[in-house]
Amino acid sequence: MAQAKPVNKMLTANRLRNGETLYYTAAGAWSQYVAEAKVATTAEDAEALAKIGAAAYAANLVIDVAVIDVTPGAEVRPAHIREVIRATGPTVRTDLNKPVTPPQR
Amino acid sequence: MYIYDKFDHAITNERVAEFSQQVTRRLKGELSEDQFRPLRLMNGLYLQLHAYMLRVAIPYGTLSSVQLRKLADIARKYDRDYGHFTTRQNIQYNWIKLDQVPELLAELASVEMHANQTSGNCIRNVTADQFAGVAGDEVEDPRIISEVIRQWSTFHPEFSFLPRKFKFAVTGAAKDRAAIQFHDIGIQVVKNDAGEVGYAIYVGGGMGRTPVVAPLIKPFVARSELLSYLEACLRVYNMHGRRDNIYKARIKILVRELGPAEYARQVEEMWPLTRAAGVDIDPAEEARIRAFFAPPAYETIAEPVASFVDAKAKNRAFARWVQTNVHVHKAPGYGAVTISLKPIGGIPGDASTVQMHAIADLSDKYSLGEVRVTHVQNLVLPNVKQADLFAVWQRLGEIGFAEANVGLVTDIIACPGLDYCSLANARSIPVAQQLSTRFADLDRQHNIGPLQIKISGCINACGHHHAGHIGILGVDKAGQEFYQITLGGAGDETASIGTLLGPGFAGDDIVGAVDKVVNTYLELRQAPSETFIEAYRRVGATPFKESLYGRR
């Protein structure tokens, strides 16, 4: 039997009210910090994320919902440069960039 | 400049109220995103990578100082203290919150501005020569007819759902500073043999996936019949444009498929109907609009202006800035100043709240309260006395906008690219910044001479790469940013589409490749007076290909 292809996915969207980039977390919330994203490592979990995204879209909480690839590793990092920029901000205005994790309180 | 009448105010305010209700309904969940999206786009509101983006219309690139101050204040209050001037002479804000948009639009309306028709399949903001009204070579101020077209096309019921977006550009002079042949309809103000002012009409130009230089469809349309002719042009397109395929929906495809002669014939056939419908502007209304663009009362100033001549003689940096950034004015003793929004290593077209305020102040003090936006993403103070140019230059230096590079290799157009735009495949701005830094030396820039680099982050070509002497197109190659080079494009009266040189370059290599292209030009030009585009047209692409890829 052929082995299943490895899966590394996370759920992202933009908040309807203010457009900010969001990630769905393991705690079942939406976070603006990519490091808090829940990573699905099975096809079933990725499918579950897609359903959560569709429900949040239908509930008018978020828009532009997508399940995107994650680079495997210790840190949660989007695979594509588009999503890296989306997660942290424009590379040409680093003064406006947001951290990948919440600031320490 | 044009001042709103009660009808302009009424429709603008009504639209703000209508869209405010739609935003409220969306936030309450009474409208779905599928229902809301076309509504927000009609009001210039996009969703980009980081937030909503609002595109505010600046009709034919003309602003009052009051309006520029409001744009600056909006950047501070609703955005992150800056705005981005675009190739359609508009301004975009990158960090907009949906729930604040109604309040923002009401503030815009208070200074006779809006974001209507800056997106969607309708007639977009009309662009024009940034030196309108002050250039000595123009037949007539192109803003007069641009304003007429703005009013005719605003909320035009027949043209609110065209097959695709539709863009007008107008030049009042034979020297085309508005890239009219890269527009759906380009208009040149001309005089016929009898000395009457009318309009030459080019239809079916554009950039994007299928770049086309617009053919001349009608060499002369009388002033009194322009709107009925344009309405006939649009109606033929609206009926026969390809709604079945978004990539073939622009008028350029229709004109190409029919052939310019057949398209023109169908317009002629339609014209009597639109003429009979009474579309053409009433002469009294035309005169009312025309009066807003009457030249201001310029002082009588004898040239040469001694203090100006003296300042140039004593200060080489100022003299160089005058050489590149001050355009000849039709009124003796005046100049039109182009403020380069391209500081070395900066972001093309970006201006902060503080910078916009400073320019508004300069405009009030030295330029009769008017500012222009150019399609090259610069600003213009159109009416500066030569005696005041030194003071203007000094103040611009204090806000970082005194770069003496207009028309030179570092005066680069760049779209927002993958740093902001959800459509982009690659970043544009960092390439512009690196090129600007590479070519920073002003002696070298002046030695290279006029050279336009234009960069787009995707095939939609917002950065006009097809019309660049050197065009750069960002592409996604297996998840990596690559950049293709085209040469020989031009957006002026000798309009041409750039030719792709060969395979793209990785982000780390594109600046070196452009440097090679420039050095090749320097080696093969016949004299310093032979510009890049002239040399390219003489020798073709081969020497440049060989310098980049070797002999094959």
Residue in chain B nearest A94 by alpha carbon = B419
Contact A49, A10 (CB under 8 A): yes
Give the pLDDT score at B389: 98
**CATH number 2.60.120.380 given to B6-109:** no
Give the rounded distance of the alpha carbon of B545 from its chain centre: 30
Tell me which chain B residues have a C-beta less than 8 angstroms from the C-beta of A77.
Answer: none
> B501 CB contacts (<8 Å, ≥6 apart)?
B484, B485, B486, B487, B541, B544, B545, B548, B549
Q: Give the strands of the sheet with A9-15, arranged side by side.
A: A30-31, A21-24, A9-15, A62-71, A77-78
Percent of chain B with pLDDT over 90: 100
pTM above threshold 0.95: yes
Least confident of A1-15, B39-53, B422-436, B469-483: A1-15
Q: B88: closest CA among B341, B347, B375?
A: B375
Per-residue model confidence as pLDDT tens digits over B159-217: 999 999 999 999 999 999 999 999 999 999 999 999 999 999 999 999 999 999 999 99
Tell me which chain B residues have a C-beta less than 8 angstroms from the C-beta of A91.
Answer: 419, 427, 430
Collapse the DSSP code of B487 into the 3-class scheme (helix H, G, I; strand E, B; otherwise coil) and give the result. strand
Give start-end residues of each CATH 3.90.480.20 domain in chain B.
Answer: 6-109, 306-398
Tokens 């005041």 -> residue:
B388
Question: What's the farthest any 2 CA atoms get from each other in chain A?
Answer: 51
Tell me which chain B residues have a C-beta less than 8 angstroms from the C-beta of A20.
Answer: 50-51
B214 sits in which H/E element: none
Say how far apart CA B87 and CA B432 lie, in whole Å.
Answer: 15
Query: Which CATH homologous superfamily contains domain B413-549?
Result: Sulfite Reductase Hemoprotein, domain 1 (3.30.413.10)
Collapse the DSSP code of B15 into the 3-class scheme (helix H, G, I; strand E, B; otherwise coil) and give the result. helix
Per-residue model confidence as pLDDT tens digits over B36-75: 999 999 999 999 999 999 999 999 999 999 999 999 999 9
Tell me which chain A residues have a C-beta less than 8 angstroms from the C-beta of B481.
Answer: 81
User: Is B51 in contact with A64 (Cβ distance < 8 A)?
Assistant: no
A vs B, Cβ pairs < 8 A, gives: 71
ipTM over 0.90: yes
Give the pLDDT score at B182: 98
Contact A12, A23 (CB under 8 A): yes
Disruptive mutation site among A57, A61, A82 for chain B (greatest number of B CBs within 10 Å): A82
**What number of other Cβ atoms are within 10 A of residue A33's Cβ?**
19
Using a 10 angstrom Cβ sphere, with 0-12 exposed, 13-18 middle and 19 or more buried, the burial of residue B13 is: middle
Q: Which of B97, B419, B422 is opposite residue A92, by nearest beta carbon? A: B419
Cα within 13 Å of Cα(B107), Cβ side: 19
Tokens representing residue A55 in the block = 């429900």
Which CATH architecture best describes the domain B306-398? Alpha-Beta Complex (3.90)
CA distance B22 to chain A (A): 13
Torsion, Cα B490 B496 B502 B507, to 10 degrees, reads 30
Contact B207, B215 (CB under 8 A): no
User: Is A86 in contact with B49 (Cβ distance < 8 A)?
Assistant: yes
Say how far apart CA B41 and CA B51 lie, in whole Å.
Answer: 14
- State mean pLDDT over A65-69: 98
CATH number for the domain whose boundaries are B134-291: 3.30.413.10
Q: Give the strands of the sheet with B334-339, arranged side by side.
A: B62-64, B370-373, B379-385, B334-339, B326-328
- State mean pLDDT over B233-253: 96
Tell me which chain A residues have a C-beta less than 8 angstroms from the C-beta of B345.
Answer: none
Backbone φ and ψ of B122, nearest 5°? -140, -175
